[in-house]
Amino acid sequence: MKKTIATFLLAFLPGLAVAAGGDEHVEEVSVNIHDEGALQRGAKLFSNYCLSCHSVEYQRWRRTAKDLGLSQDQVEGNLIPGDGTVNDMMDNVMPEEQSEEWFGTTPPDLSVVARSRGEDWLYSYLKGFYLDDTRPFGVNNTVFDLVGMPHALWELEGLKKPVTETHTNEDGEKEEEVVDFEYVTEGSMTKSEYDRAVRDIVTFLSYVGEPARLERPTLGVWVIGFLAVLLIFAYFMKREFWKDIH
Q: How many residues does the chain have?
A: 246
- Residue 229 · residue 137 · CB < 8 Å: no
The pTM score is 0.76
Range of the domain at 20: 2-214
Residues 173 and 245 in one domain: no
Residues 55 and 162 in one domain: yes
Convert the pLDDT of each residue in 131-187 to its tens digit: 999 998 999 999 999 998 899 999 999 999 988 888 888 888 888 777 888 999 999
Residues 38 and 88 in one domain: yes
Task: Spell out the residues 6+ positions from residue 45 whose beta carbon is closer than 8 angstroms to its own.
Answer: 197, 200, 201, 204
Task: Spell out the residues 6+ positions from residue 227 whose beta carbon is closer than 8 angstroms to its own.
Answer: none
Measured distance CA(205)–CA(40) in Å, rounded = 11
Residues 99 and 206 in one domain: yes
Residues 83 and 202 in one domain: yes
Bridge partners (DSSP) listed for residue 131: 139
Overall domain count for the chain: 2
* Crossing angle of helices 191-209 and 36-49, rounded to 10°: 100
Q: How deeply is 40 buried, as exposed, middle or buried, from its count of CB atoms within 10 A (0-12, 13-18, 19+)?
A: buried
Residues 127 and 165 in one domain: yes
Residues 157 and 176 in one domain: yes
Residues 172 and 128 in one domain: yes
- Residue 12 · residue 5 · CB < 8 Å: no
3-class secondary-structure state, position 198: helix
Helix, strand, coil fractions of the chain, as percent rounded to 5: 50, 15, 35
Residues 154 and 225 in one domain: no
Residues 148 and 234 in one domain: no
Residues 206 and 226 in one domain: no
Residues 84 and 111 in one domain: yes
Convert the pLDDT of each residue in 20-61 to its tens digit: 334 557 899 999 999 999 999 999 999 999 988 888 988 999
